C-alpha cells in the first residue's frame, strides 16, 4: 500500500499506521485533527467520509448557525466553545467592554446579560417607590443574575435588599415580617376556631355538626364490625376513646351513642352556652 502519511481527509491528517487493531483485526491509523487532538480511526471509514474529525466537528455541528452573533443583552455569541455534560457551551463577548465569558444556552436564555460598565444608565430608577411594606432607598453594587438589587426600608423599621424584578412582580413585599405576622394570625385564627375548653374541642363535639366524608353508617361513633358483622358504638371525650359496647342491631348502637352524647357532650356545651364557632364569635 502507498505511504499515506500526511494525507488529509476532512479535518484529519494521517500521522502513521499504528499497531492498534479494531475488533475485526484491521489496523487503526493515527490521525491528527485540525483542532489539535490526536485519534485512532479505521482508514476505510475516513476515506469514505464517514468520519471527518476527532469528534469536534460533530459537537460544533450541533450548534445552529443562527446562534452565531445572537445577542443576549450586551453579550453576543462568537462561536461554539465546548460541551459540558449534555449541554453545549458558547464563547460570548460583551459589545461594550469586550469582556468574554463562556455560558450554556439555557443560562443565556434564563436572564438578560448586561455589561457591568452600564451602571445605572439603563436601569429603571426605583428610588422612592413603594412595594407593599417596602420603600426603595437606593441601588447597590450587588447584582443577582445581572439584575440590580435595591436597599429598601420596611414599615417595621428594618432594612433589606431585594432584586428589582421581585419588587415589581410583588414577590417581595416586606423584610420578612409580613410572612411572620401572617403565620401568627393563621395560628391564632386556627386556635380560635378550635374553641378548646377543659381539654375538649367544642367544635368537634357540636351535636349538629355534619358527618365526615368517610362515615358509612350515617351516625358519628357507630361503625360496623367487619369480623362479627355487629355494630360497635364509641365516643371520644377529652382526648380519650370511650367504648360503649357492641350490638347486634344498628339501632341499639345508635341509641347507645345518643345517650353518651347526652351524658358527655351536652353538659359542657350548656356550660359554655354552645360557644361553638359559627362566624359570629
Amino acid 276: pLDDT: 44
Phi, psi of 244 (to 5 degrees): -110, -5
Does this model's pTM top 0.75? no
What's the grid cell of residue 188?
Answer: 391564632
Amino acid 191: pLDDT: 55
Amino acid 29: pLDDT: 93
Distance from C-alpha of 171 to C-alpha of 151, rounded to nearest angstrom = 16
The ranges of the chain with pLDDT < 50 are: 61, 120-121, 274-281
Amino acid 28: pLDDT: 92
Distance from C-alpha of 272 to C-alpha of 265, rounded to nearest angstrom = 11
Picking from 168, 238, 235, the residue whose alpha carbon sits closest to that of residue 198 is: 238
What is the side-by-side order of every strand in the sheet holding 8-9? Answer: 8-9, 12-21, 27-33, 38-41
Residues paired with 87 in a beta bridge: 84
Amino acid 21: pLDDT: 87
Amino acid 152: pLDDT: 93
Distance from C-alpha of 31 to C-alpha of 42, rounded to nearest angstrom = 10
For residue 110, give Cα distances in angstroms to 47, 107, 117, 146: 43, 5, 21, 11
Is residue 89 a contact partner of residue 102, using CB atoms and an 8 Å limit? yes
- Domains of the chain as residue ranges with CATH: 8-59 (no CATH), 63-117 (no CATH), 125-178 (no CATH), 195-271 (3.30.730)
Amino acid 279: pLDDT: 41
Amino acid at each position: 500500500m502507498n505511504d499515506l502519511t500526511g494525507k488529509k481527509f476532512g479535518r484529519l491528517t494521517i500521522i502513521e499506521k499504528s499497531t492498534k487493531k479494531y475488533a475485526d483485526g484491521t489496523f487503526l491509523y493515527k490521525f491528527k485533527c485540525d483542532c489539535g487532538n490526536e485519534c485512532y480511526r479505521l482508514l476505510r471509514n475516513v476515506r469514505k467520509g464517514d468520519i471527518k474529525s476527532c469528534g469536534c466537528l460533530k459537537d460544533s455541528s450541533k450548534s445552529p448557525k443562527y446562534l452565531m452573533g445572537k445577542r443576549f443583552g450586551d453579550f453576543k455569541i462568537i462561536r461554539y466553545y465546548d460541551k459540558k455534560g449534555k449541554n453545549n457551551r458558547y464563547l460570548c463577548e460583551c459589545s461594550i467592554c469586550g469582556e468574554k465569558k463562556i455560558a450554556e444556552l439555557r443560562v443565556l436564555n434564563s436572564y438578560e446579560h448586561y455589561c457591568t460598565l452600564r451602571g445605572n444608565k439603563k436601569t429603571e430608577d426605583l428610588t422612592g417607590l413603594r412595594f407593599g411594606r417596602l420603600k426603595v432607598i437606593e441601588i447597590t453594587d450587588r447584582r443577582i443574575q445581572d439584575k440590580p438589587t435595591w436597599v429598601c426600608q420596611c414599615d417595621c423599621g428594618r432594612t433589606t435588599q431585594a432584586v428589582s424584578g421581585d419588587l415589581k412582580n410583588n414577590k417581595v413585599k416586606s423584610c420578612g415580617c409580613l410572612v411572620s405576622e401572617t403565620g401568627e394570625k393563621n395560628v391564632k385564627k386556627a386556635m380560635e376556631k378550635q374553641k378548646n375548653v377543659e381539654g375538649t374541642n367544642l367544635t368537634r363535639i357540636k351535636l349538629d355538626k355534619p358527618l365526615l366524608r368517610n362515615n358509612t353508617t350515617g351516625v358519628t361513633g357507630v361503625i360496623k364490625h367487619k369480623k362479627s358483622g355487629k355494630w360497635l358504638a364509641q365516643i371520644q371525650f377529652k382526648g380519650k376513646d370511650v367504648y360503649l359496647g357492641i350490638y347486634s342491631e344498628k339501632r341499639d348502637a345508635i341509641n347507645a351513642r345518643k345517650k353518651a352524647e347526652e351524658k358527655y357532650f351536652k353538659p359542657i356545651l350548656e356550660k359554655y352556652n354552645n360557644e361553638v364557632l359559627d362566624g359570629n364569635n
